[in-house]
Amino acid sequence: MSVFKNKTTLMPDYIPPEIPHRHEKFLEIMEYFKPIIEGDAYFEHVFIIGNTGTGKTLVARYLERYIQSLKNRRVDVIYINARFERIPGNIVRKLLRWINPFAPDRGYSVEDIYMYFLEMLYKNNRGVLLILDDSDHLFEKYAEFIYKLGRVHEIGIINRLSILFILRSNSSLNKADLWAIGGLRKNVVYFEDYGYEELVDILDYRASQAFKNGAIDEGSIETAADIAATYNYNARYAIELLLKAGMIADKKGEKIVTAEHIRLARFEVPPSFTYEDMKALTLHEKMILYALSEILANGEKSFTTTGELERKYREVAKYFEVTPVGHTWFWKMIDTLNAFGIISKRLSSKKFRGRTTLIGLPSFSATILLTKLQEMIEDEIIKSIE
């Protein structure tokens, strides 16, 4: 007998009927987009900024569901996770498939496809709210794309594209070229970290949806909140702890999820980046992470140099019988992993001979990551052969 009555309510993509302690943020964002939804304005830009696990994606998807439920709406919603789609080309091709599933995307530039999408919106008198989740790296790496997103009204087309950007921090905007972001309207909604009591409320609500009556005690929920408190009260992490703890209880054949199940779950759940997210990484990015985990797993080092990491990556590529990428692409992937917040990257202190870049793994157990990544890498290689 399982402790769950509906396990899917603890999954990352689940949008609950209510959003405790975030409804006011939803209303604040709605105020910005209300003129768009009602047809009184053509476009708007809004930024959601907050740490991981503060409910940013939850509120955005809740907003999407709400807008799509309106009978007389003047706008549709397109949700794109920019971390998964990676580059502007993938993003605009997704927009193209939405506006015209039969339009060819081969042989056309990113700009051509983007212009076609905008022209079709205008021709069909359709408004779109584009939600660009995890879009930090776009501001750091693709300034020209950001520029074109914000300057539609300057190219002779009535702009019917509104955008909700979701960012982890202000740093991406601070690093962005002022020329690139100059055309964007700076409506910012900050998502503060949850407090302890707020997090307990959220976990109580989600547990009531997920578990059978009496299958989880209050102490377990408080333990999950306590653990998440060390990671800025990350609700996403805490909810994943509940899911994993329930699975551990089921595996052991036990009828109640206890605090010990929560503590056991902690060793299998990284705090800020789920294993589902990790599956979206490329094969070589996974191998770089695997190499970094090998270097750091014995606990003697808290970081490594890029030179040591590149040498280890090439050893890992040889082990998996995969041709490694060149030095330039290796550096690009290091930048991408850093932009995603998976690794840390900083210049060494003066005590090092010469200045070198140091790479760390701030949010994961290197030992657990080795096992998870080995499974993912081997599965990907097998699929590529089939």
pLDDT digits (tens, 9 = 90+) for 334-378: 988 887 767 878 776 555 555 688 888 766 678 778 888 888 898
Query: What pLDDT is stored for residue 4 in this prediction?
Result: 96
Q: 212, 3 in Cβ contact below 8 A?
A: yes
Query: What pLDDT is stored for residue 349 in this prediction?
Result: 56
Confidence of residue 311 (pLDDT cuts 50, 70, 90): very high
Confidence of residue 284 (pLDDT cuts 50, 70, 90): very high
Answer whether residue 1 is part of any domain. Answer: no
Query: Is there a single domain that holds both residue 179 and residue 58?
Result: yes
For residues 24-48, average pLDDT: 93
CA angle 53, 226, 27 (to 5 degrees): 35
Q: How many domains does the chain have?
A: 3
Residue count of the chain? 386
Q: Is the pLDDT assigned to residue 200 strictly greater than 80?
A: yes
Query: Is there a single domain that holds both residue 170 and residue 66?
Result: yes
Answer whether residue 18 is part of any domain. Answer: no
Query: Is there a single domain that holds both residue 211 and residue 152?
Result: no
Query: What pLDDT is stored for residue 275 in this prediction?
Result: 62
> Reduced to 3 states, what is the DSSP secondary structure of residue 364?
coil
Of residues 273, 214, 213, 264, the one with CA closest to residue 242: 264
What is the domain range of residue 344?
Answer: 275-385
Query: Is there a single domain that holds both residue 69 and residue 175?
Result: yes
Q: Is the pLDDT assigned to residue 144 strictly greater than 70?
A: yes
Question: Which strands sit side by side in the sheet containing 344-347, from one edge to the other?
Answer: 303-305, 357-360, 344-347
For residues 203-227, average pLDDT: 92
Q: How far apart are CA 262 and CA 128, in angstroms?
A: 42
Answer whether residue 2 is part of any domain. Answer: no
Give the CATH number for residue 158.
3.40.50.300
Q: 260, 220 in Cβ contact below 8 A?
A: no
